[in-house]
Structures are given as structure tokens and as C-alpha cells.
Amino acid sequence: MKPIAVLQGLTFAASLLAALPALSQDGGTLKKIKDGGSATMGVRESSGGLSFTVGDGKFAGFHVELCQRALADVQKQLGLAKLDIKYQPVTSQNRIPLVQNGTVDIECGSTTNNAARQKDVAFAVTTYVEEVRIAVKANSGIGSIAQLNGKNVATTTGTTSVQHLRKHERATGMDFKEVFGKDHADSFLLLESGRAEAFVMDGQILAGNIAKAKNPADFKIVGEVLSVEPIAIMIRKDDPAFKKTVDDSLKALMASGEMAKIYDKWFMQPIPPANTRIGLPASEATRAAWANPNDKPMEDYAKK
């Protein structure tokens, strides 16, 4: 086990205990931030260019920067001389409970906005639209999902991609031999070592892993988009004042074109810690979300 995972577990346990008295949210998140002079941002250890650690307890990424800007607007609105931002690493398993119980005020990771989650939490306007794609070895000759029939296909346990593959199998009568990696790095290793012919995952995760590979030219992202998922900043449910502040802040960035510049900084330019480039231009769908800010769940994207 990585020591960081253990640490993360401990901080999670500690934060659960610490959160118990903070449960009452009568005045909403804005009041809580004003009273405490601090806000807690939920961040991910490794969510591609969206949210990741640069080591030493520091976090960065596209969504982290957006949240920092939104919190700066919150500070201005509240007239606070100083706003202390605390960073709390979260995982796919604990992010929703931690937002609900007040440990995390604003989660800036890679959370898909879907109808099931909207029952428990709220989402700011969609800032990134993820497309599930296929990564293969460049010399494999595979160009579409139809060519994966009967082949080993890697994906990561605990992600929605597993379900997309299953749905696709049912819809087309194809048969994939699914191989599950325990995390994205592991799944990529399956592709690299030849145990799997393809790795099906969110486009930016594929691009990030390829960028970090020993020889990025050996891999490419091919084929049709298997699924479209709106990724958004997550906040507590039923807190319209805080949601409006965050949304307004994001909408202003979208309207001024600043959003595209921030995207470019994290997805097209070299980023820490290793100064690699992800090299994933903003997709049509992402640009559409910036042009018409909305917080529609994933289900609305599937309909069209």
C-alpha cells in the first residue's frame, strides 16, 4: 500500500469525527465560511488534469483553479479580509458523504453530474464534458470499437466505463473480455504489457496516461465516443445562495473567455509535477457547455 493511501484513510477517519458537530447547516455554506474565515475544498490525488496532487500536500488542476477563483469571489462578496482555503483529499467512495456532512464545502475533482447524485448533492454549472474513448497501441491497427470483438479490453474497477462496456455489449451482441485494473495506472499497464488490446476510459485520463508513458507515440486514442458525461464542481444540496455565487463566478469566466485560457493552461501546456503535456483540446461538447452554462445531469446528454 502507498503510504499516501494510508494517510488519506486516516485523514478521512479523522475528518468524519471532526465533522459531526459541524452538521448543522442552517445558515448555508456562505455563513459557515464567513463565521469560520475558512473554506474546505475537496480535491483528488489523481484525476488527470482536473485535480491532482503535486506532492507536499499541495493540489492543482483545472477544477482546483476554478474553485480557487470562485472562492476568491466568495471572499469578495462576504467582505472577508482573509479567507483560509483548506484542501481535503477525497475519493470516489467518500466524496458525496463528505460534502453532505459538511467536511467539504466545495468539491473540485472529477465528479459526474447525474440524476442519482442530484438527490444527494448539487452541482455548479458544468465546466468540463468528459467523453469515454478507447486507447490502443498505435501499431495495433484497431480504429473502432467494432474491432474489439472477442479481444481483451481493460478498464478500471469502480468507474462508469465498466457499465458502458456492458451496455455496448448488450446493444450490439459483441463480446469483450473485460480485464479490470485496480486503478488507472494499473489499467494502462495492462494495455502497455499486452494483457489487454484496448483501454476504455475517460478521454482526459487516457490522454494523461499516454503523456506519462515511456514512449507516448506508441499509443493513440481512437474510435467513437462511447459516452458523454458532464463533470462539475459539487456543492451541498439546497443551498441556493452559495450555488448562485459559485455559478456566477464560473459564468463570468465562461463569458469573458477566461475559461478557455485556464483550460489551455492545464490541458495544453506542460503541467507539474513532471512538466508533461496532456495535449487534449477542449471538445465540442465542453465548448458547448461553456457557451450555454447549465447544470443538466448526464441523462439529459444521452437523450439527444
Of 42, 181, 223, 293, which one interacts with another protein (CB under 8 A)? 181
Under the criterion CB under 8 A, does residue 36 sit at the interface with another protein? no
Number of separate helices (H) and strands (E) present in the chain? 12, 12
Distance CA 240, CA 49 (A): 29
Give the nearer residue to another protein in terms of CB position, either 179 or 260.
179
Q: Which residue's entry shows cell 502507498?
A: 2
Question: What does the H/E/C string look like for 64-81?
Answer: HHHHHHHHHHHHHHHCCC
Of 24, 139, 193, 275, which one interacts with another protein (CB under 8 A)? 193
For the CB of residue 236, give the shortest distance to another protein in the complex, in Å: 13
For the CB of residue 197, give the shortest distance to another protein in the complex, in Å: 14
Bridge partners, residue 181, by sequence: 156
Stretch in the footprint of another protein (CB under 8 A) among 4-12, 22-30, 181-189, 248-256 = 181-189
**Binders in 141-160 for another protein, by CB under 8 A:** 157-160
Give the nearer residue to another protein in terms of CB position, either 39 or 154.
154
Stretch in the footprint of another protein (CB under 8 A) among 62-70, 125-133, 189-197, 230-238 = 189-197
Under the criterion CB under 8 A, does residue 212 sit at the interface with another protein? no
Total binding residues toward another protein, as defined by CB under 8 A: 28
Angle, helices 240-256/62-78, rounded to nearest 10 degrees: 120
Phi, psi angle pair for 265, to nearest 5°: -60, -40
Distance CA 241, CA 184 (A): 37
* Number of residues that make up the chain: 304
CA distance from start to end of the chain: 43
**Binders in 107-146 for another protein, by CB under 8 A:** 116-117, 120
For the CB of residue 51, give the shortest distance to another protein in the complex, in Å: 18
CB 165 within 8 A of CB 223: no
Distance CA 224, CA 222 (A): 7
For the CB of residue 119, give the shortest distance to another protein in the complex, in Å: 8
Kindly list the strands in the beta sheet with 51-55, ordered across the sheet, starting from the edge strand earlier in the chain.
Answer: 46-47, 51-55, 58-60
For the CB of residue 69, give the shortest distance to another protein in the complex, in Å: 30
- C-alpha distances out from residue 93 to 96, 126, 130, Å: 8, 21, 20
Give the nearer residue to another protein in terms of CB position, either 77 or 118.
118
Of 86, 166, 244, 261, which one interacts with another protein (CB under 8 A)? 166
Contacts with another protein, 85-104, as mask; x by CB under 8 A: -------xx--xx--x----
Footprint on this chain of another protein (rule: CB under 8 A)? 1, 92-93, 96-97, 100, 116-117, 120, 157-160, 162-163, 166-167, 170, 178-182, 186, 189, 193-195
